[in-house]
Amino acid sequence: MKCNICGSDRLPVSRVIGVCRNCILDNPVSSLKSIFEKVNFIRLDMGESILDRETGLTCFGCGNNCKIGEGEKGICGLFENRGGMLVRLAGTPDKGLLNFYYDALPTNCVADFVCPAGTGCGYPKYAYKNGPETGYYNLAVFYRGCNFNCLFCQNWHHRPARGGWERLSAERLAGQVNEKTACICYFGGDPSPQLPHSIAVSRIALEKAEEEKRILRLCWETNGGMNRAQLKVILSLALKSGGIVKFDLKFYSEPLNLALCGVSNKTSISNFLYAAEFFKERLNPPLIVVSTPLIPGYTSIEEVEKIAGLIAEVNPNIPYRLLGFTPHFQMSELPSTSKKHALKCLEAARRAGCNLVEIGNYPHLSNVNYNL
């Protein structure tokens, strides 16, 4: 379709956004106004919260610092203003809102090309086998709620209001770890709004594993928009256990993040830069891994090159995964990422200085040609 602002159809344009990438970057004020007028209506119609309140109590549960009015919830849906007091609905050590399951290793993980479960790196201290950990499992913990509101979300059903979740204490969830559990991976949604719960789970489970002289890696997959103090804690737990903190940096340019994800990416980038300083403390397995989804029409080659440059500036050996996009949620009419585009982004990331870059979801890449 044509862009509602410039009228061009040169780039793929999402129907729900109605604005092309170039206009978002060249005219962010007018573009975002146009996008939010439409998109925020859709989000509210789905019972979700939006990040444009100017009054209310300030929530410091993550980097969004939502203003939450009386009777309203923050964008994650897990903090509510009740009678002038902020109430956390989930994410405390005694109440996590989540689903969990056992995922046979090696599994389809963002970091599988560099993690102990998929490669055996870090053996014997951090891996059970000098190769893929067949016969072992990952305790996959899917947290409800997210401090982003991505229009291309593959797990959009994570919103707390949609039901189908369990309330589990940290102690009960930690009790699900057994002798065949090699790692715990917290994802979602995003674990950021419920980090206190995952931290409590990790401490309980890791203490028991150490007593029994077992390996138990602790990993987080996140957009990076969490509270800095809590980031420090999960970095220390991942570092100690052989785990990985996986940052999904969706965009470099803030206007694009605002347009497609509903929030700023300033906290995400700042937290990544902070975390990346610890990368050198454990190289094998790597403490930090970065990923970026390649959204047709919006994640340009230049965008990837900027993210890769950011990574390389801190440490060129930080692994970087480019993820193929398949149509989902509000952006279901866009094509899948093309092989041509993915390969050009791969070249750009290497050109920017990243030493270890791979394409993920390669089988899902399409042969569709679109302007880059």
The DSSP result for 195-233, as a single string, is HHHHHHHHHHHHHHHHHTT---EEEEEE-S-B-HHHHHH
- In the structure encoding, which two tokens stand for residue 207, read together? 């203490």
Residue 246 carries which side chain, given as an amino acid letter? K
pLDDT at 370: 78
311 has pLDDT over 60: yes
pLDDT at 372: 66
Strands across the sheet with 166-168, in order? 166-168, 96-104, 137-143, 181-188, 217-222, 245-248, 288-294, 320-324, 357-360
pLDDT at 156: 79
- In the structure encoding, which two tokens stand for residue 334, read together? 């866009």
3-class state of residue 152 by DSSP: coil
The DSSP result for 124-147, as a single string, is TTT-SSSS--TT-EEEEEEES--S
What is the DSSP secondary structure assignment for residue 35, as one 8-state letter? H
Separation in Å, CA 312 to CA 282, 319, 323, 342, 343 = 17, 10, 18, 19, 19
pLDDT at 43: 66
Domains present along the chain, CATH in parentheses: 96-364 (3.20.20.70)
Separation in Å, CA 115 to CA 100, 140, 150, 151 = 21, 15, 27, 29
Q: Phi/psi class of residue 62: alpha, beta or left (left: φ > 0; alpha: ψ in -120 to 50)?
A: beta
Higher pLDDT: 267 or 39? It is: 267
Share of the chain above pLDDT 90, in %: 82
Q: Phi/psi class of residue 367: alpha, beta or left (left: φ > 0; alpha: ψ in -120 to 50)?
A: alpha
Continuous segment of H or E residues that includes residue 254: helix 254-261
pLDDT at 101: 96
As a whole number of angstroms, the distance between CA 263 and CA 257 comes to 6
CB-CB contact of 241 with 214 (8 Å): no
> Which pTM does this prediction carry?
0.95
